[in-house]
Amino acid sequence: GSRLEGVEMAPPDPILGVSEAFKRDTSGDKLNLGVGAYRTEELQPFVLNVVRKAEERMLAANENKEYLPIEGLAAFRKATVELLLGADSPAIKEGRIACLQSLSGTGSLRIGAAFIAKFMPGAAAYISRPTWGNHKNIFADAGVEWKEYSYFDPETIGLDFGGMVADLQAAPEGSVVVLHGCAHNPTGVDPTPEQWEQIADVCVAKKLLPFFDVAYQGFATGSLDADAFAPRYFAQRGIEFAVAQSYSKNLGLYAERVGAISFVLSDKEAADRVLSQLKRIARAVYSNPPIHGARIVSEVVGSEEMFAEWKGEMEEMSGRIKAVRQVLFDELNKLEPNKDWSFILKQVGMFSFTGLSPAQCDHMTNKWHVYMTKDGRLSLAGLNKAKCKYLADAPSSNSH
């Protein structure tokens, strides 16, 4: 037998496992509403026009494929902090940001978590209940204990703001708070600007380190700037924080693995020291980041014309999801007018958090070929108007 006889089978991933099951289904009705990946109205994967353009320019420039520095492509890092905080941000001008290009949102979170494990020993990371399925894996694998704070109120299908603030107030000083920058996954429920102010107050009072996860900048409101409200507000207040950014969704660069981990700090000297340690961590994990996606981002954000075109395509993607929300809402209202379906319209971003139980989710999949995660989350980015009626009819036929 193998010397690895003792290795047990790992369970399928709760999100990517859904895509695997979807591929095996031979039904013509099947819908993949599991993974948060944007599809066109024809339910096809979408490569943005600006990305194609950038790639054409890159090909014409005939660039080489030498290693990048450990911290990544300089033009990419500049574009990325500017996208987050705005080009006129004092933190950028004063060199107070340690920004390391990393492997999309996941890899950036993981490097940030490794930094916390190493330099903030004993600090726990507080994550929202519920949250994106991978947060727990990322912090646990990096050796950071995770705990939960209240976030979602199933009664109102909205934010449990009182519970959230109380839990953060009860967290030990020096803890890390993971905050979704916008378009909270899976609930689609974000704090209001006034609530962000109060969250910032608690972070200051309890000396908590906010760690923003910005995976959907542009998908909440359709505007890249408006969606950066929370991290920009924290920066304005002079609060130090960490932030993981991803271009998987908003530039559709899923498989290119392009993103960044940054620490926005109070002085340049601290930023230099932190960057040196982020580099030390990345060097031992993957050495240096991939160049292709970073060049695409630098091309797009570096050209006024292409940046403007991206903003248009961003609005188009988020607008299509909003249109699907409206049609799904209309279909459900027609079917069951006495139920309050307004949560579908109020939730923002790629998802609708339905409140379906795990058994009901299974039924959706087994009977109706609707693939979704067991927490009741539907990715509306994988739905189109034509399929809304089919989806609306599906659960109602189930006597739940």
Binding residues for ligand PLP (CB under 6 A) = 36, 104-106, 132, 180, 185, 213, 215, 246, 248, 254, 259
| Cβ atoms of 253 and 47 closer than 8 Å | no
User: 32 or 185, CB closer to ligand PLP?
Assistant: 185
User: 111 or 265, CB closer to ligand PLP?
Assistant: 111
| Cβ atoms of 85 and 92 closer than 8 Å | yes
Name the minimum Å distance from CB 244 to ligand PLP.
Answer: 7
| Cβ atoms of 347 and 189 closer than 8 Å | yes
User: 37 or 204, CB closer to ligand PLP?
Assistant: 37
The Cβ-side half-sphere exposure at 387, using a 13 Å CA radius, reads 20
User: 97 or 111, CB closer to ligand PLP?
Assistant: 111
196 among known catalytic residues:
no
What crossing angle do the helices spanning 292-302 and 49-61 adopt, rounded to 10°?
110
Name the minimum Å distance from CB 251 to ligand PLP.
Answer: 11
User: 243 or 361, CB closer to ligand PLP?
Assistant: 243
Tokens read off for 210: 């906010």
Name the minimum Å distance from CB 2 to ligand PLP.
Answer: 32
Name the minimum Å distance from CB 181 to ligand PLP.
Answer: 9
User: 114 or 332, CB closer to ligand PLP?
Assistant: 114
Name the minimum Å distance from CB 328 to ligand PLP.
Answer: 21
310 among known catalytic residues:
no
| Cβ atoms of 219 and 321 closer than 8 Å | yes
Active-site choice (53, 167, 249, 310):
249
190 among known catalytic residues:
no
User: 363 or 374, CB closer to ligand PLP?
Assistant: 374
Name the minimum Å distance from CB 331 to ligand PLP.
Answer: 26
Name the minimum Å distance from CB 151 to ligand PLP.
Answer: 13
Phi, psi values for residue 77, rounded to 5°: -65, -40
Which residue pairs from 250-254 have beta carbons closer than 8 angstroms and sit at least 24 positions apart in sequence? 250/216, 250/217, 250/218, 250/219, 250/224, 250/314, 251/48, 251/50, 251/51, 251/296, 251/297, 251/300, 251/310, 252/38, 252/46, 252/47, 252/48, 252/51, 253/51, 253/104, 253/293, 253/296, 253/297, 254/37
Radius of gyration of the chain (CA): 21
Phi, psi values for residue 146, rounded to 5°: -110, 145
Distance of CA 2 to the CA centre of its chain: 39
The residue sitting closest to ligand PLP, measured at its beta carbon, is 105
Polymer length of the chain: 400
User: Within a 10 A sphere around the Cβ of 226, how many other Cβ atoms?
Assistant: 13
Name the minimum Å distance from CB 263 to ligand PLP.
Answer: 18
Active-site choice (160, 167, 190, 213):
213
| Cβ atoms of 353 and 188 closer than 8 Å | yes
The order of strands in the sheet holding 146-150 is 97-102, 259-264, 241-246, 209-214, 176-180, 125-129, 146-150
Buried b / exposed e along 130-160 (16+ C-beta atoms within 10 A)? bbbbbbeebbeebebebeebbbbbeeebebb
Quick one: DSSP state of residue 267?
S
Active-site choice (132, 146, 310, 368):
132
User: 128 or 365, CB closer to ligand PLP?
Assistant: 128
| Cβ atoms of 70 and 111 closer than 8 Å | no
Q: Indicate which residues carry an active-site annotation.
A: 132, 213, 249
